Amino acid sequence: MKVKAINYSKDHLKYLSAIKRREKIIKASQIFILVSFLLLWEMAANFGWIDAFIFSQPSKILKTLWEMALDGSIFLHTGISLFETVAGFLLSTLLGTSIAVLLWWNNFILRVTDPYLVILNSLPKTALAPILIVWMGNNMKSILFTAVLMSIVVTALTVLNGFQEVDQDKIKLIESFGGNKKDVLIKVMIPANVPTIINALKVNVGLSLVGVMVGEFLVAKAGLGYLIIYGSQIFKLDWVMLSIVVLAFLAALLYKMVLILERRFLKWRE
């Protein structure tokens, strides 16, 4: 079977070329800003504009990275924090979506729990972290629970809001063919809210990282949060800055993975 070639007009080709050129300019500008910031930071430390002991500098961070890569410690700390973050945001998304399904399914439970969900959502979760550690002990479970707590309520409310905004005509159509509430959930609600769930994943990446860091600050014996706290206590500020850089990289990597998942879903739906 031959695929018919599409002949674009000159104006259309010009428009597509302009879009590509604009994207290249945006990427180049982003790289320029990052490189300029790093160069300015390095120069400021070398010329004494800032205290290199307190603020560190890119060359020292690279040296620290190389030293910690040789002994494997950076991979250990990064791997632990990455595992806790991924587990935290996957659990929070799964549990939050399950809670949203329960609240949508039973309006009585929704009306009873609504004020408590609002209070829990407004409550600063970091204030609960020390209590969770006392309850659950000085272990990884406390860190994971803190990460889940940071985002589970947001996920539940976000997905529930998506359920409530689904077109009622689609629900009536399923019901007119004899479908029950389970059919409405499986055939309408969940498919219509996959983008909402993916958006919840995007938010949960950052919230779970915050939860993991809070937990590691308090109880961890390894991980990037532990490295930040321990490094600041013994004035190894290069460790602190390196950990922050690695955290930024992990956040960008996890967010990119969610974007890839979103693109694949949109492509599959087309």
Span 190-228, pLDDT tens digits: 888 888 888 888 888 888 888 888 888 887 788 888 898
Q: Are residues 69 and 35 in the same domain?
A: no
How confident is the model over 142-163, as pLDDT tens digits?
888 888 888 888 888 888 888 8
CB 146 within 8 A of CB 214: yes
> What is the pLDDT at residue 6?
57
What are the structure tokens assigned to 27, written together?
């990427």
> What is the pLDDT at residue 132?
78
* 3-state SS, residue 166: coil
Give phi and psi for 124, each to the nearest 5: -65, 110
CATH number, domain at 77? 1.10.3720.10
> What is the pLDDT at residue 8?
63
CB 81 within 8 A of CB 223: yes
Domain that holds residue 45: 10-50
Q: Are residues 196 and 223 in the same domain?
A: yes
Domains in the chain, number: 2
Q: Are residues 35 and 146 in the same domain?
A: no
d(CA 259, CA 198): 8
Answer yes or no: is 263 within a domain.
Answer: yes
Model confidence at 261, pLDDT cuts 50, 70, 90, reads: confident
pLDDT > 50? residue 110: yes
> What is the pLDDT at residue 7?
63
Answer yes or no: is 20 within a domain.
Answer: yes
Q: Are residues 213 and 159 in the same domain?
A: yes
Mean pLDDT of 72-89: 89
Calculate the CA 245 to chain-centre distance: 16
Q: Which residues contact 211 (CB under 8 A, 6 or more apart)?
A: 88, 125, 143, 146, 147, 148, 149, 150, 151
> What is the pLDDT at residue 208?
85
H runs (alpha helix) in 57-139? 58-71, 73-105, 107-122, 129-136
d(CA 138, CA 187): 43
How confident is the model over 19-78, as pLDDT tens digits?
888 888 988 998 999 899 999 998 998 888 888 888 888 888 899 899 889 988 889 999
Give phi and psi for 139, each to the nearest 5: -155, 180
Minimal CA–CA distance to 196: which of 244, 243, 225, 164?
A: 164
> What is the pLDDT at residue 269?
63
Q: Are residues 61 and 40 in the same domain?
A: no
- Torsion, CA 101, CA 103, CA 105, CA 106, rounded to 10: 160
pLDDT > 70? residue 12: no
CB 46 within 8 A of CB 58: no
CB 228 within 8 A of CB 243: yes
Q: Which residues contact 193 (CB under 8 A, 6 or more apart)?
A: 159, 162, 163, 166
Q: Are residues 39 and 108 in the same domain?
A: no
> What is the pLDDT at residue 264?
80
Q: Is 185 exposed, middle or buried (0-12, 13-18, 19+ CB in 10 A)?
A: middle
How confident is the model over 111-151, as pLDDT tens digits?
888 888 888 888 777 777 778 777 877 778 888 888 888 88
Q: Are residues 24 and 88 in the same domain?
A: no
Answer yes or no: is 3 within a domain.
Answer: no
Answer yes or no: is 5 within a domain.
Answer: no
Q: Are residues 45 and 61 in the same domain?
A: no
Model confidence at 176, pLDDT cuts 50, 70, 90, reads: confident
